């Protein structure tokens, strides 16, 4: 009987080892998805509609455009652009949720879906540091929703890696989300420092924290030829008011920090930009300047009912301040 039981055990372990081995080799050597940009009529139409909706600030059109993009994605799930566009629509819907009369609890699902699609974009095009940065902040966002410290920390360190790869772009991406942390917290102070560093890496020089001369930045644009700088530091076709939106957010974080003097410098440089008069959110910035002292308290409450009187991250224009065309 003992010999029979022993043989049975050996047979079971042999079969188990074989199954585990099969599973290991099957998953380890599974073929990887390789990027393949879609050129079908559906994909081209979906991508065009994405930009029209984003630049038009048509928040209410998100479900329709998302459906169109997902149809194109199902046609070809190897297109990193399609995956990223879908991810961005989900993060836009979540970020500007204060536009909604009633915010449904399932709005948090947008964080999950956005992370999934940006994860696909990262896998398909790991060379694009934008995707890595967005994926990192979405891990932090989803981790915060579920009180998952592992996910928060993993996202944070992935964000730091994205900064290493493209600091001009991802210092803002990561710092923007970290700015939602409470005043005085380590992560909030880090967010403010990331904004300072973002200015410095765009200007290629140190900035005096006590007396920032942001005005010296404006002449740099005319001589800039580096594509990574042009995309991340200045207004572009993708982000028509990137410069103004950056300094609106920077000013907001400085106000929240209690540094109204530096905040006024940040707001003022956005106002001095040659295209300020066409910016859809110029009146918001002018009210920011007028109400700096009142906003020191408002920005601490983190109340969606305050509308524009939150830090930019919490407003109905958290994406549109940079991306909406005139």
> What distance in Å separates the CA atoms of residue 317 and residue 279, rounded to the nearest whole number?
12
CA 77 from centroid of its chain's CA atoms: 22
Q: What is the pTM of this model?
A: 0.91
Q: Extract the tokens encoding 31.
A: 């073929």
> What distance in Å separates the CA atoms of residue 298 and residue 252, rounded to the nearest whole number?
11
Q: Pick the closest to residue 262 from 272, 274, 277, 252 (CA basis).
A: 252
pLDDT at 322: 98
pLDDT at 92: 98
pLDDT at 306: 87
Q: Extract the tokens encoding 254.
A: 């400085």
Q: Extract the tokens encoding 294.
A: 């009142």
Q: Extract the tokens encoding 222.
A: 């005319």
pLDDT at 303: 80
Distances (CA, A) of 68 to 89, 119, 159, 307, 310: 12, 20, 30, 30, 33
Count of CB atoms situated within 10 Å of the CB of 46 = 26
Q: Extract the tokens encoding 297.
A: 């308290």
The H or E element that residue 114 is part of is helix 109-124
> What distance in Å separates the CA atoms of residue 64 and residue 211, rounded to the nearest whole number?
47
pLDDT at 31: 72
Residues of the chain with pLDDT under 50: none
Count of CB atoms situated within 10 Å of the CB of 264 = 16
Q: Extract the tokens encoding 14.
A: 């042999």
Burial track 222-239 (b if 16+ CB lie within 10 A, e otherwise): eeeeeeebebbbbbeeeb
Q: At what angle do helices 62-75 and 80-95 cross, to 10 degrees?
A: 160
> What sections of 234-291 are H helices per DSSP?
242-257, 260-272, 282-290
SS3 214: helix
Q: Extract the tokens encoding 73.
A: 């994605």
SS3 123: helix
Whether 54 contacts 92, CB under 8 Å: yes
pLDDT at 33: 80
User: Which domains are seen in the chain, by residue range?
Assistant: 36-165 (1.25.40.10), 167-326 (no CATH)
């Amino acid at each position: 009987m003992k010999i029979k039981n022993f043989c049975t055990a050996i047979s079971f372990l042999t079969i188990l080892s074989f199954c585990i081995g099969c599973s290991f080799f099957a998953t380890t050597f599974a073929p990887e998805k390789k990027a393949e940009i879609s050129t079908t009529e559906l994909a081209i139409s979906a991508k065009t509609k994405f930009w029209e909706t984003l630049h038009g600030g048509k928040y209410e059109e998100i479900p329709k455009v998302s459906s169109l993009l997902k149809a194109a994605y199902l046609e070809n799930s190897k297109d990193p652009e399609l995956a990223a566009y879908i991810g961005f629509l989900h993060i836009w819907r979540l970020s500007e949720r204060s536009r909604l009369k009633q915010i449904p609890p399932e709005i948090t699902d947008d964080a999950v879906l956005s992370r999934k699609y940006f994860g696909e974009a990262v896998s398909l095009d790991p060379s694009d540091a934008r995707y890595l940065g967005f994926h990192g902040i979405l891990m932090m966002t989803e981790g915060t929703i579920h009180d998952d410290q592992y996910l928060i920390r993993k996202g944070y360190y992935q964000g730091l890696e994205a900064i290493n790869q493209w600091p001009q772009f991802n210092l803002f991406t990561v710092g923007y989300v970290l700015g939602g942390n409470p005043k005085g917290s380590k992560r909030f102070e880090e967010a403010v420092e990331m904004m300072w560093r973002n200015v410095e890496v765009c200007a290629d020089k140190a900035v005096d924290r006590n007396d920032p001369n942001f005005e010296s930045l404006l002449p740099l644009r005319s001589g800039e030829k580096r594509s990574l700088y042009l995309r991340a530091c200045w207004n572009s076709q993708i982000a028509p008011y990137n410069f103004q939106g950056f300094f609106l957010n920077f000013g907001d974080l400085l106000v929240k920090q209690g540094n109204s003097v530096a905040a006024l410098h940040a707001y003022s440089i956005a106002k001095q930009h040659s295209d300020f008069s066409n910016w859809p959110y110029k009146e918001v910035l002018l009210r920011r300047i007028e109400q700096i002292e009142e906003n020191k308290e408002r920005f601490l409450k983190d109340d969606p009912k305050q509308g524009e009187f939150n830090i930019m991250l919490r407003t109905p224009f958290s994406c549109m301040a940079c991306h909406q065309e005139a």
